[in-house]
Structure 1
Amino acid sequence: MIRRVLAAIAIVVVLLVAIPLVLTPLYAIRAIHPVSTLMLADHLTFRPALREWVPLEAIAPVMVHSVLMSEDGQFCRHDGIDWGEMRAVVDAALAGEETRGASTIPMQTVKNLFLWNDRSYLRKVLEAPLAIYFDLLVSKRRIMEIYLNVVEWDTGVYGIGAASQHYFGKPASELSARQAALLAVTLPAPGTRNPANPGPGLDRLARRVERLAEASGDYVGCVRPAETG
Structure 2
Amino acid sequence: MAKSSTKKKKPAARSKARTKRSLMSRVKRLFIFGGLAVLSLIVVATFAVGLMNPPTTPYMYSEGRRLGGVTQDWVAMENIAPVMARSAVAAEDANFCLHWGLDVNAIRATIDRGGNGGASTISQQTVKNVFLWHGRSWARKAMEALWTPLTEAVWSKRRILEVYLNIAEFDEGVFGVQAASQHYFGVNARDLSPTQAARLAAILPSPKNRSASNPSSFVRQRAASILDGAATIEADGRAACFED
TM-score range, shorter chain: 0.7 to 0.9
Of stretches 207-216 and 15-24 in structure 1, the one that deviates more from structure 2 is: 15-24
| Pair 1:219 & 2:219 matched | no
- Do residues 157 (structure 1) and 174 (structure 2) align? yes
CA spacing shift, 1:113–1:18, aligned 2, 3 Å = farther
The two structures have a TM-score, normalised by structure 1, of: 0.85
Cα 1:221–1:47 change in 2 (3 A) is: same
Specify the code of the residue in structure 2 equivalent to 1:51: Q
Aligned partners of 1:83, 1:46: CA distance in 2, in Å? 37
Give the secondary-structure state (helix, strand or coil) at the position aligned to 1:153.
Answer: strand
1:107/1:117 CA distance change after superposition, 3 Å: same
State the alpha-carbon separation in 2 of the partners of residues 70 and 207 from structure 1. 11
* SS of residue in 1 equivalent to 2:240: helix
**Cα displacement string for residues 84-110 of structure 1 (whole angstroms, at most 9, x for unaligned residues):** 1111222333xxxx5110000010001
Identity among equivalent positions (%) equals: 39
Alpha-carbon separation, structure 1, partners of 2:183 and 2:84: 15
Aligned partner of residue 208 in structure 1, secondary structure:
helix
Secondary structure in 1 aligned to 2:102?
Answer: coil
Q: Is the 8 A contact 1:69 1:212 kept in 2?
A: yes
Distance in 1 between residues matched to 2:117 and 2:63, nearest whole Å: 29
State how far apart, in whole Å, the 1-side matches of 2:207 and 2:139 are. 23
- Offset of residue 129 of structure 1: 1.1
Q: 1:54 to 1:42 in 2, by over 3 A?
A: same
1:56 aligned residue (68, 74, 77): 77
Query: Do the aligned residues in 1 keep the contact of 2:64 with 2:173 (CA within 8 Å)?
Result: no
Shift of 1:34: 4.7
Flag structure 1 segments of 5+ consecutive residues without an equivalent.
Answer: 1-9
- The offset of 1:116, in angstroms, is 1.6
- The answer for unaligned runs of 5 or more in structure 2 is 1-30
The structure in which a higher percent of residues are helix is 2
Shift of 1:118: 1.4
Q: Partner of 1:172 in structure 2? A: 189
2:165 paired with 1:148: yes
> What amino acid is aligned across from residue 27 of structure 1 in structure 2?
V
For the residue of structure 1 that corresponds to 2:61, the secondary structure is: helix
Partner residue of 1:6?
Answer: none
Residue 16 of structure 1, CA deviation = 7.5
1:119 corresponds in structure 2 to 136
Q: Deviations over 1:138-189 (max 9, x none)?
A: 0000000000001111111110010000011110011000000000011110
> Structure 2: how far apart are the matches of 1:21 and 1:50?
29
CA distance in 2 between partners of 1:17 and 1:41 (Å): 25
Q: Which residue of 1 aligns with 2:107?
A: 86
Shift of 1:33: 3.8
- Superposed counterparts of 1:175-194, under 5 Å: 175-194=192-211
The structure that has the greater radius of gyration is: 2
The aligned residue for residue 27 of structure 1 is 49
- Equivalent residues, number: 209
Structure 1 residues 46-97: Cα deviation after superposition (integer angstroms, max 9, x where no partner): 722000001000000000000011100111010000011111222333xxxx
What RMSD in Å do the two structures reach over aligned CA positions?
2.0
Residue in 2 aligned with 1:209? 226
1:197 lines up with 2:218 in the alignment: no
Taking a change above 3 Å as real, the CA distance of residues 61 and 208 of structure 1, as seen in their structure-2 partners, is same
Match of 1:196, SS state, is: coil
So what's the TM-score if we normalise by structure 2? 0.80
Once the two structures are superposed, residues 188-225 of structure 1 have per-residue CA deviations (whole angstroms, 9 ceiling, x without a partner) of 10111001000111100000000111222201100111
